[in-house]
Amino acid sequence: MRKLLLAVVAFMASSLIGWADGLNVVSFKLLETDLTANTRGTQKQDQNGEKAALIKIVSPEQGFLFNGGSLGIVATENKPGEIWLYVPPRAQKLTITHQSFGVLRDYYYPIPIQGGRTYEMLLDIGTGRYVTITTSQAKSDLTIDGEYVGKAPIYNRYMSYGKHTISAQNGRYEGVNTFSVVPTDDSKGRVVSVEMRDMSDHFGDVEVTVDNNAEIIYNGRNVGAGSWKTQLREGSYTIETHKVDCNPATTTFTVVAQKKNEVKANAPTPFTGYLNVFTRPTNVAITYNGNKPIEFHEAVTLPIGTYQLEFTRKGYVTQNHEFTVSHNQLTTDTVTLERIKYVKPLAFYFGAAYSLRSLSGATGILGAVIKGHDIQLHYTFGLKASNPIHCYKGEGSDDYQSTISYKQSSFGIKYGYQVNLMDKLAITPQIGVCVDRLSGTLESGTNLYADGASATCVSIGAKLLYAPTQHFYLFAAPEFDVAVQKDDNFQQLVDASNITAGGFVAHLGLIVNF
């Protein structure tokens, strides 16, 4: 067995040696319309200041050394698929050396070398032949031995000795040509043509869709975003979907000929990071981006981006915080909620109440609390009228003059200090001064007696507040008013009716605070 293997290796080595012809120039010609050697940016000058000639050497390999004899070489540049060799004008010959492919010594140019002109040299390394490939359908996609090489025609492609397969495709037209490159082929190259035919009955309509408007990549090309419609030959295909800040996804599908093939491609998966938020107190309801609930028993995996989180718990002030989740990074934070201050130490307020007294009324209040100090203005509009009072011309006179009823209004100011008893309950001891004023209504007769009579009172009491929710208080404010000054008319009306100056008053109502 060992002897057989050695014999096979020896045969292959001798075959390769027989096929290798060494370095050889297949063709050398002037490129009449190529101005590379005479264009600013690509032209070069020799040591005498003359424009150099440019030889574009087409070769499948790099790594050559060049010797131009006594005139020398101006410059060498490696380009994709070829070598740019700048030589002085009037150069005569060239020696080419390669470590693997040997030496081409003293190659004499077949045509004169002129400065500022461009030439082309096809260099054969001795392991194959130059081949030009054409197709019956112009600009068809060409694949050689499974490698995509571009669109037809392909000129002067160096192909090694041996068997090769060329596949061509242009829409629904396809063709295949299998041929061999052998040493007996013309060293100046050969032409291989691929005949193509309509393969419509082997194609199917294909519609690919993908979520999030992702890019669809087929054969290394971007063919659409979100969707792609095409026609493909029956068989299996693989596509990729790409999106910024996402991991690409792969989808393999099978095309059935003469059918509509609908493909739902896998969407790219977003880059993710980690977010963990601790709260004080615990048991806080957390939502993000509007209304999506989230829980943080441990770090949560989220797509990268910015998140608006809302933290709520009954009895605490709702808070909103913004967090940024970065790729493969852990973001942590602690959020402390403040208890809702239903009874505020700093507030502006107004409200209304029903006032219970001998002549009841409706009271409006306006005030402010600053660090617990409560300043309040109030005005009571009389609702209940007094008992009718009969007036005569003089004391002890029987000469009737008028019958009048009175309503009692009050205006005053109070000072107090607010003491919080609980979260929703507070009491404010108050002292103040108010002025009671009577307004009469003539029920019969001609004389409106004592209209506008007034009394000044000092009040002492307390305001009890209960806050069922933020910004609203229910309150009860009992007080006792002591009259310190009454005009004569007020005193006479007090003596003659159920009108009182001062006394017990209770206010029951609602306050709105800010």
| CATH code, 166 | 2.60.40.1120
Same domain, 375 and 287: no
If one counts every other C-beta atom within 10 angstroms of the C-beta of residue 2, the result is 6
User: From first to last of its 514 residues, what are the pLDDT tens digits of the chain?
Assistant: 444 433 333 334 334 333 445 899 999 999 999 999 999 999 999 999 999 999 999 999 999 999 999 899 999 999 988 999 999 999 999 999 999 999 999 999 999 999 999 999 999 999 999 999 999 999 999 999 999 999 999 999 999 999 999 999 998 899 999 999 999 988 888 999 999 999 889 999 999 999 999 999 999 999 999 999 998 989 999 999 999 999 999 999 999 999 999 999 999 999 999 999 999 999 999 999 888 999 998 999 999 999 999 999 988 999 999 999 999 999 999 999 998 888 988 999 999 999 999 899 999 999 999 999 999 999 999 999 999 988 877 666 667 788 999 999 999 999 999 999 988 999 999 999 999 999 999 988 888 888 999 999 999 999 999 999 889 999 999 999 999 999 988 988 888 888 888 899 999 999 999 9
Same domain, 509 and 431: yes
**HSE-up of 335 (CA within 13 Å, CB side)?**
24
Distance, CA of 484 to CA of 319 (rounded, Å): 52
Instruction: State the Cα–Cα distance between residues 175 and 170, nearest whole angstrom.
Output: 9
Strand ranges for 116-226 from DSSP E: 118-124, 128-135, 141-144, 147-151, 154-160, 162-170, 173-181, 190-194, 197-198, 203-209, 215-218, 221-225
Indicate whether 386 and 483 sit together in one domain.
Answer: yes
**C-alpha–C-alpha distance, residues 211 and 264, integer Å:** 9
Bridge partners (DSSP) of residue 120 are 29, 56
Task: Please identify, among 124, 145, 174, the residue that sits at the C-terminal boundary of a domain.
Answer: 124
In this structure, the answer to whether residues 29 and 84 fall within a common structural domain is: yes
Amino acid at 359: L
Longest dimension (CA), the chain: 161
Count CA within 13 A, CB hemisphere, residue 499. Answer: 32
Q: Do 108 and 50 share a domain, yes or no?
A: yes
Q: Same structural domain for residues 166 and 293?
A: no
Residues 83 and 104 in one domain: yes
Q: To which residue do tokens 């194959």 refer?
A: 128
Among 336, 369, 384, the domain-final residue is 336
> CB-based burial of residue 501 (10 Å sphere; 0-12 exposed, 13-18 middle, 19+ buried)?
buried
Q: Which domain range does residue 325 map to?
A: 272-336
Q: Do the beta carbons of residue 418 and residue 369 sit within 8 Å? A: yes
- Residue 485 is predicted with a pLDDT of 94
Q: Are residues 387 and 471 in the same domain?
A: yes
Encoded tokens for 24: 């050889």
Is 461 within a domain?
A: yes
320 and 297 Cβ atoms separated by less than 8 Å: no
Domain final position from 269, 290, 323: 269
CA distances to 38, 43, 100, 401 from 116, in Å? 5, 7, 32, 135
Please indicate, yes or no, if residue 1 is contained in any of the structural domains.
Answer: no
Is residue 330 domain-shared with residue 428, that is, in the same domain? no
Asked if the structure places residue 223 within a domain, the reply is: yes
In sequence order, which residues have a C-beta less than 8 Å from that of residue 11 and are 6 or more positions away? none
Strands 246-247 and 215-218: unpaired
Indicate whether 242 belongs to any domain: yes
153: tokens are: 């025609």
DSSP 386: P
Q: How far is residue 169's CA from residue 183's CA, in Å, rounded to a whole number?
A: 29
Length, in residues, of the chain? 514
**Nearest alpha carbon to residue 499 among 408, 383, 410:** 408
Model pLDDT, residue 17:
37
| CA angle centred on 309, ends 303 and 314, rounded to 5° | 145
379 and 500 belong to one structural domain: yes
Same domain, 366 and 500: yes
| Total number of domains constituting the chain | 5
Tokens 């203005």 sit at which residue?
377
- Smallest CA-to-CA distance from 119 within 152, 98, 97, 94 is with 94
- For residue 42, count CB atoms less than 10 angstroms from its CB and return exposed for 0-12, middle for 13-18, buried for 19 or more: middle
Residue 94 near residue 68, CB atoms below 8 Å: yes
Q: Is residue 10 part of a domain?
A: no
Q: How far is CA 83 from the centre of its chain?
A: 48
CB 288 within 8 A of CB 325: no
Q: What is the pLDDT of residue 434?
A: 95
CATH of the domain at 323: 2.60.40
For the whole prediction, is pTM greater than 0.85? no
Residue 327 is assigned to a structural domain of this protein: yes
Q: How far apart are the two ends of the chain, measured CA to CA in Å?
A: 101
| Residues 194 and 328 both lie in one domain | no
**Residue 498 falls inside a structural domain:** yes
Residues sharing a CB contact under 8 Å with residue 440, sequence separation 6 or more, in sequence order? 404, 405, 406, 448, 449, 450, 451
CA distance 189 to 199: 31
Q: What pLDDT shows up at residue 458?
A: 97
Cα separations (Å) of 306 from 33, 265, 288, 323, 326? 59, 27, 10, 6, 9
Domain presence at residue 161: yes
